[in-house]
Amino acid sequence: MSTDINTSIDIQKTTKSNISQIDFSNLSFGNVFTDHMLECDFKDGQWQTVQIRPYGPISLDPSAKVFHYGQAIFEGMKAYKGEDDSIWLFRPEENHARLNKSAVRLAIPEFPKELFFDGLETLLNLDKDWIQKDEGSSLYIRPFVIATEAGVSASPAQEYKLMILCSPAQSYYSGEVRVLFADTYSRSASGGVGFAKCAGNYAGQFYPTKLANDAGYQQVVWTDASTHENLEEAGTMNVFFRIGDTLLTAPTSDRILDGVTRKSVLAIAEDEGINVTVRTISVFEIEEAAKNGNLLEMFGAGTAAVINPITGFCFQGVDYELPKLTNSYAAHFKERITGIQTKKSEDTFGWTYKVRKI
């Protein structure tokens, strides 16, 4: 990538910023958006000029394929502001690579890396005042691609739109999370789209998660579709278990998202000499460990929450509570990762990316 940002981006600045109307100390996740958004259309076989314009509605033909066949993918990233007002992204190359991996699976054209970084960094420069420095603050970035071609024939579209939206976020605290191990519904299947960050993966979770909510659980821990015996993901996050001092997580596969936070937890654990095992994890082994007191922790790992501790689970109608620890791995990983993201602690892994100034 060149050190200079491409100047051919078409920029239309807002004439009136909304920032003064925002209470940054009272944000609910994903409801407030910055002044600008990025758009880039794919037509005639190529991605066109990147455009940045004031945040607002877009107009699409009602027959656009995204509405009928769900050809839609997205990413979740975060930007932070350092003490010197520099802007930082966390492992953005991973998000760009995964966007393209999802694109290939959904028969969507890949988006060029240089265009992605030049566009995103220009947008962040324009909306930099929306990135707050307070403890726990970040800017959640939502890139996504939708099929915009009109017509309901069931085939990949010839036209797409990539957009990037930015939403100021505070530290994500979802309260006590008790989970239900899935034994009827599944999130993904072998050969399917589970590894892709495609819209349908999330829509398919809403109904089983609502049933779990109604039964008093905040999330579902997804099991493999064929036996429901192996634990795979927690809600919209990867899932970790701590048995004794060993940290366990399932291997990524075509059913499991290759999470950036998951990878970061594994790298930190290895770096610190924590015993880590990546292998298939059976529900019976976790049930057994909970019964004999060896299951010390469960937590989800994802971009939005970073680390989300799980306080208990239900398996086959029986509830199990996890102990409250003072030396929890979940709290430790959250502190290490957010320390690196916010530049408060040293980034020995080279994960942080300084946004170029325009």
The count of residues interacting with ligand COI (CB under 6 A) is 8
Q: Which residues ranging from 278 to 317 are in contact with ligand COI (CB under 6 A)?
A: 302-305
Within positions 90 to 149, which residues make up the interface with ligand COI, using CB under 6 A? none
Q: Which is nearer to ligand COI, 109 or 300 (CB)?
A: 300
Q: How far is the CB of 195 from ligand COI (least distance, A)?
A: 13
CA distance 123 to 38: 7
Residue, CB closest to ligand COI: 302
Beta strand 178-181 with 219-223 is: parallel
| Residue 170 sits in the site that holds ligand COI (CB under 6 A) | no
* CB-based contact 51:120 (threshold 8 Å): no
Where in the chain does DSSP place strands (E)?
Answer: 10-11, 36-43, 46-47, 51-54, 72-74, 77-81, 87-90, 138-147, 160-169, 178-181, 219-223, 231-234, 237-243, 246-249, 276-278, 295-302, 306-310, 312-315, 318-321, 352-354
Question: With respect to ligand COI, which residue has the nearer C-beta, 69 or 202?
Answer: 202
Cα–Cα distances in angstroms (integers) from residue 329 to residues 67, 171, 220, 334, 337, in the given order: 42, 18, 21, 8, 12
Q: Which of 330, 310, 305 is nearest to 180 (CA)?
A: 310
Copy the structure tokens of residue 132.
């707050």
**333's tokens:** 């990983």
Query: What CA–CA distance (Å, rounded) separates 52 from 43?
Result: 18
Instruction: Give me the least distance between CB of 151 and ligand COI, in Å please.
Output: 29
Q: Which residue number, 30 or 54, has a Cβ lying nearer to ligand COI?
A: 30
Closer CB to ligand COI, 77 or 281, in the complex: 77
Candidates 95, 122, 170, 236: give the one binding ligand COI (CB under 6 A).
236
The pattern of x and - marking residues 179 through 218 that bind ligand COI according to CB under 6 A reads -----------------------x----------------
Find the shortest distance in angstroms from Cβ 172 to ligand COI. 8
- Closest distance to ligand COI from the beta carbon of 205 (Å): 9
Amino acid letter for position 110? E
Please, how many CA atoms are within 13 Å of residue 251, restricted to the half-sphere of its CB?
A: 5
For the bound state, the minimum distance from the C-beta of residue 91 to ligand COI, rounded and expressed in Å, comes to 12
Nearest-approach distance from CB 289 to ligand COI, in angstroms: 26
| Binding track, positions 42-81, relative to ligand COI; x by CB under 6 A | ----------------------------------x-----
| N-term to C-term CA, the chain | 16
Q: How far is the CB of 301 from ligand COI (least distance, A)?
A: 9
Residues binding ligand COI (CB under 6 A) = 76, 202, 236-237, 302-305
